[in-house]
Amino acid sequence: MLACVMSQILPALTEGPAVDWLFLDLNSYFASVEQDDRPELRGRPVGIVAVETDSTCCLAASYEAKAYGVKTGTSVKDAKVLCPHISIVAARPKLYVEYQKKIIEAMETHLPVYKAFSVDEMACRLLARERFLPNAATLAYRIKQSLRNLGVALRCSIGLAPNCYLAKTAADLCKPDGLTILLKKDLPYALHCMKLRDVVGISHAMEARLNNRGITTVEQLCKLTSQQMRDIWGSVQGETMWYWLQGEDWKEKADGPRRSIGKQHVLAPKYRTRDQAYLVGLKLLSNAAIKLRRLNLWARGIGTTVAFTHWGKEIQNSNIPSGWNAHRNIHACHDTMTLQDHFRELWKDCPSHSPVHVGVWLYDLIPDKFHTLDFFDDAKREVVSTTMDKINKKYGQHMVYLGGLHGLGDAAPTRIPFFSVPELADF
């Protein structure tokens, strides 16, 4: 409604205050999608978990739950103490990706999406008349209304700013359902009210490093020179952040060719033995190989990593290592059986301790156009892998699989990473 009113009273301006980026942050996204899909959860405190057990923690919480102090990372046991009537819901990653596709389609009726940084964050670059503040604000309200039309429980915060970094910062400042504007003429003073940890890119460790240099406020941070920030960060990232904080639209490094594909998983208690972890590793490798073929890539290296039960302070007086990893270079391949052979050889050196986490990765990738057949390629294995891919694409992921993975149906399901969006084909 507000968007319609604004469009009637505000002309399409071509002068005055302007912004270059619109950043959208979906509020309590996992919980909001569950509330939208399940009406009985609307208006109720909800905690989203990977598995329904009191020993895990909340991946996300609805705003009704946040009002009781429940937040991302709160253990389920503590969440039930803080909010006895909370509904604990198992995450459905595929549903969240499906919703995101619909949200992007709704956004693109107003603006093209420049980039989806994660499943709940996306940015739009503003051009021409879109940049001028009344027009940009009108577009922001129209996007908000489109989301409400798409799902009654869906809300977002939007930031408008001269660069993508500050637009994300602005979106974080007013939640839920906010619209925050940062203009270049108001910088850096508009940022002085923030805490250091509110600044995108300042972690707990970086805050401690800044504190050691006598920097305890954002005002002090903004008074540093670009060289001082580069020295504190120990890399060009510090200098880049200096330009961003000044409102400059400093270009990010363009995405290069894909270098690796990795899969990792925290093991459920029943899989915390060396033999069971090996089987989970095989499943992770199978998923990685499927993605490798889907992207028409070949791997020339394979690695695996394992974390054990005992780490940190507990291991100081122990002979048990905190973790183990191994890797090897291989002849370019992307069929599952050959990759499993290499994984099996690597695993022979894995210590016999209690694992809690296992990961695999394929690296030194080359595109199909640069691969040439050689003596080591096995045409039969290639046919088996591609045939399985076709069947699974038609009838559903893991409808057919290699016999060694039998019984692992509930192990290592596809999750949503923090800084990327899985494809629906990954589920």
From residue 53, alpha-carbon distances to 76, 90, 184, 307, 414 in Å are: 7, 10, 48, 22, 19
- Shared domain check, 354 and 227: no
| pLDDT of residue 254 exceeding 60 | no
Span 194-246, pLDDT tens digits: 999 989 889 888 999 999 999 999 999 999 999 999 999 998 889 999 999 99
Sheet order of strands, 323-333 included: 260-266, 355-367, 297-308, 323-333
Q: Report the CATH number that the domain containing residue 47 is assigned in CATH.
A: 3.40.1170.60
Cα 122 → chain centroid: 11
- Shared domain check, 339 and 303: yes
Which of 194-208, 304-318, 335-349 is predicted with the least confidence, judged by mean pLDDT?
304-318
| pLDDT of residue 391 exceeding 80 | no
pLDDT the model gives residue 249: 83
Tell whether 16 is covered by a domain: no
The mean per-residue pLDDT over the stretch 333-349 comes to 91
Q: Report the CATH number that the domain containing residue 247 is assigned in CATH.
A: 1.10.150.20
Tell whether 174 is covered by a domain: no
Residue ranges making up the domain that contains 418: 260-426
- Shared domain check, 402 and 276: yes
Tell whether 65 is covered by a domain: yes
The mean per-residue pLDDT over the stretch 122-137 comes to 94
- Shared domain check, 283 and 198: no
- Shared domain check, 229 and 286: no
- Shared domain check, 387 and 374: yes
- Cβ-Cβ contacts under 8 Å for 60 (sequence gap 6 or more): 28, 29, 30, 31, 47, 48, 72
Q: Residue type for 333, please?
A: C
Sheet order of strands, 115-118 included: 115-118, 121-125, 21-26, 156-161, 179-181
Which of 141-150, 250-259, 265-274, 282-291 is predicted with the least confidence, judged by mean pLDDT?
250-259
Where does a domain end: 95, 120, 140? Answer: 95
Q: Report the CATH number that the domain containing residue 364 is assigned in CATH.
A: 3.30.1490.100
The mean per-residue pLDDT over the stretch 19-38 comes to 96
- Shared domain check, 239 and 283: no
pLDDT the model gives residue 61: 95
Residue-averaged pLDDT of the chain: 84
Tell whether 159 is covered by a domain: no
- Shared domain check, 411 and 369: yes
| pLDDT of residue 379 exceeding 80 | no
Where does a domain end: 233, 255, 277? Answer: 255
Tell whether 146 is covered by a domain: no
Which of 244-253, 265-274, 347-356 is predicted with the least confidence, judged by mean pLDDT?
244-253
Where does a domain end: 75, 95, 115? Answer: 95
- Shared domain check, 268 and 250: no
| pLDDT of residue 422 exceeding 90 | no
With 0-12 CB in 10 A as exposed, 13-18 as middle and 19+ as buried, what is 268?
middle
| pLDDT of residue 8 exceeding 60 | no
pLDDT the model gives residue 312: 43
- Percent of the chain residues topping a pLDDT of 70: 82
Tell whether 357 is covered by a domain: yes
Give CA–CA dist 173/157, Å, rounded: 9
| pLDDT of residue 384 exceeding 80 | no
The mean per-residue pLDDT over the stretch 314-334 comes to 76
Q: For residue 60, which phi and psi values (nearest 5 degrees)?
A: -160, 160
The mean per-residue pLDDT over the stretch 384-404 comes to 68
pLDDT the model gives residue 20: 95
Tell whether 117 is covered by a domain: no
- Shared domain check, 272 and 230: no
pLDDT the model gives residue 313: 38
| pLDDT of residue 316 exceeding 60 | no
- Shared domain check, 309 and 210: no
pLDDT the model gives residue 420: 60
Give CA–CA dist 419/427, Å, rounded: 18
Tell whether 353 is covered by a domain: yes
pLDDT the model gives residue 386: 77
* Structural domain total, the chain: 3
In 3D space, the residue among 31, 23, 146 whose CA is nearest the CA of residue 90 turns out to be 31
- Shared domain check, 233 and 347: no
Tell me the pLDDT band of 390, cut-offs 50, 70 and 90: confident
| pTM for the whole structure | 0.69
